[in-house]
Structure formats: structure tokens, C-alpha cells
Amino acid sequence: MRYSPEALTAFVETVACGSFSAAARRLRKSQSTISTAIAHLEADLGITLFDRSSRQPVLTEEGKRVLSYVEAILAASERLDELAISLSGTTEARLTFVLSDTLHPDILEDLMAQFDSQFPHTEFECLIGEDEDVVDLLQKERAQVGLIEAREVYPANIGAMRLPVQTQMGIYVASHHALAARRDVAWEQLRTWRELKLSTYLETDPTPARGPVWSAPNYLLLLSMAVQGLGWCILPCALVEEFAAAKSLQQLDIAGWPRAVDIDLLWNKRRPPGAAGAWLRNYLAQQHKQMQ
């Protein structure tokens, strides 16, 4: 291909992120690398893609027309990579799956049993991760597939598929916690009590907490903290049913809760899953049991 795939990706990501620096952070590159790649693409095309006269780069009219073509080229390249792997019948010696605690335990149990039957000679590694940590593990090629609470935008090198299942999230406290005896707790009242909050290793949310907070990188650890009465916590309802001792946690009656959350399956486009990863993706795509 005449145009560098890295340059095309840098261009699409800069448009999506709104700046060279944001694109660099998402692609785990330096800002100069992104700027240089786009400058080379502009030289190859013989046109200016961005107006750089303002603080943030703005697509030129030529850039707007080029964007759809570049997106089509990258999409076709990804499909070709997946087709090549499919035709070769390559099965991974090892498949690493970043598992979210939001996955219904029944689905996970059946998935592992089916995987063992289909790929008895493939090593299957499960990692626990949530949110930005999942994306990071995939981008670093530490894992091949992962689950994440659904979002609308992902880095250009991350593929995503919305699963036909949801997980129910509720707000819980220990049965002996003072909040457990209250009815119709308002959200603002809840903020005056300690929150047990999910906080991943790559937490980037600059918003300061509105109340006292303890945090942990996965829901199972937060559940353990909640059982001890250390605070209130948003948890997957199925996780509570599976791992909390009978009546050790109580779901609070809060307006709008419990609520359903969509789940996405992710993979690294530059390292598409082989036969085992493709099977796992298809298996989850066929699950219609609601994660409750």
C-alpha cells in the first residue's frame, strides 16, 4: 500500500480525538510521532488535511473528503486480516481473555466448559480487568479479547462488538450498615456516606470525589469490602448473588436503580483473534440470557 497504515490510523484517531496530543495518548505514541505521520500523509497526498492555525487542528474541506476513504481502507484491511486468519485455520497456542466481573457467572461457567471441549490443547488465561485497563491490555497485546462496560468510542486499533446481553447493576450495603435500615435514600444523602468505588489502574477521571471514597480495581474486591460494612457500592447484581453470603448485603432503594448496562467485546485489530478467539467471540454473540 502506498500510504502507511500507521499514518492512516494517526489521521483517523486525530479526527476522533480532536488533537494530536490526545491521539498520541490513545495510540500510546509520542505527539511528534503522530504529527510526523500525518505530515508524511499530507505530503504523499499532496494536500493539507488539517488547518493548524488555531489551538486545535481542524479538518480542511479536502481532509473531510479524504476521511471516509481512509476509514474504508482501514476497515478493508482489518477484514482482510481476519479473513486470512480464518482461511489459515490458525488456532492460538494460548488465548488470554480479560474478564469483567459484569459477566454473568452462568455464562462464564458454560463458556469455559464449551471452550475446553472445542480447544483442549489451547492454554486459556483469564485476567480480571475493567474499563480503561481492558483497553490497555489489548493495545499492549497482553490479551487478545476482553469485556468492558459499553462505550461509544474506542481507539482506532480496537475492534468492538455490542453483546446481546446486559448486566444489572445495583447499589448495595452490608445488612448491618446504618444505611440498610433506611428507606428511599436520596442520591445526595448517599454521598455523605463512604463510597466503595471502582478505580482502575489507568484511572483518568479528574473529577474530585463528592464524598468519602475507598477504591479498588475490580468489583469482587469491592464486594468483599461492602460485606465488611466499609461503605456503599455499585455492584453487578449477579456477582452479589453468586459470591455474597446469604443476606450479607442489602440492595438500597434508590430512584433509577438497579439499572441495565450494555457490555462490549473488544479485540486488537492489529492482532486479530485466531480460531479460538473467533469461537469465543461468536459464542458470546449468541448469548441472549440477560445478565441479572
pLDDT tens, position by position, 10-48: 888 888 888 888 888 888 788 889 989 899 888 888 899
* One domain, residues 25 and 146: no
* One domain, residues 125 and 268: yes
* One domain, residues 73 and 97: no
Q: How confident is the model at residue 130 (pLDDT cuts 50, 70, 90)?
A: very high
Query: Does any domain span residue 290?
Result: no
* One domain, residues 107 and 125: yes
* One domain, residues 253 and 176: yes
Query: Does any domain span residue 292?
Result: no
Query: Does any domain span residue 291?
Result: no
Q: What digits encode the pLDDT tens for the residues 93-113?
A: 889 999 999 888 888 899 999
What is the count of structural domains for the chain?
3
User: For residues 271 and 39, which has the higher predicted lDDT (pLDDT)?
Assistant: 39
> Which one of 87, 118, 135 terminates a domain?
87
Query: Does any domain span residue 26?
Result: yes
Query: Does any domain span residue 28?
Result: yes
Report the alpha-carbon distance of residue 13 to residue 283 in Å, rounded.
30
* One domain, residues 67 and 123: no
Report the alpha-carbon distance of residue 8 to residue 13 in Å, rounded.
9
* One domain, residues 171 and 255: yes
Give the range among 33-47, 82-96, 125-139, 170-184 with minimum mean pLDDT.
82-96
Query: Does any domain span residue 140?
Result: yes
pLDDT confidence of residue 13: 86
Query: Does any domain span residue 113?
Result: yes
pTM metric for this prediction: 0.68
> Which one of 59, 87, 115 terminates a domain?
87
Evaluate if residue 160 carries a pLDDT over 70.
yes
- Residue range(s) defining the domain that contains residue 215: 167-259
Query: Does any domain span residue 116?
Result: yes
The domain that holds 80 is classified in CATH as 1.10.10.10
pLDDT confidence of residue 206: 52
The domain that holds 204 is classified in CATH as 3.40.190.290
Q: How confident is the model at residue 84 (pLDDT cuts 50, 70, 90)?
A: low
Give the range among 29-33, 206-210, 247-251 with minimum mean pLDDT.
206-210
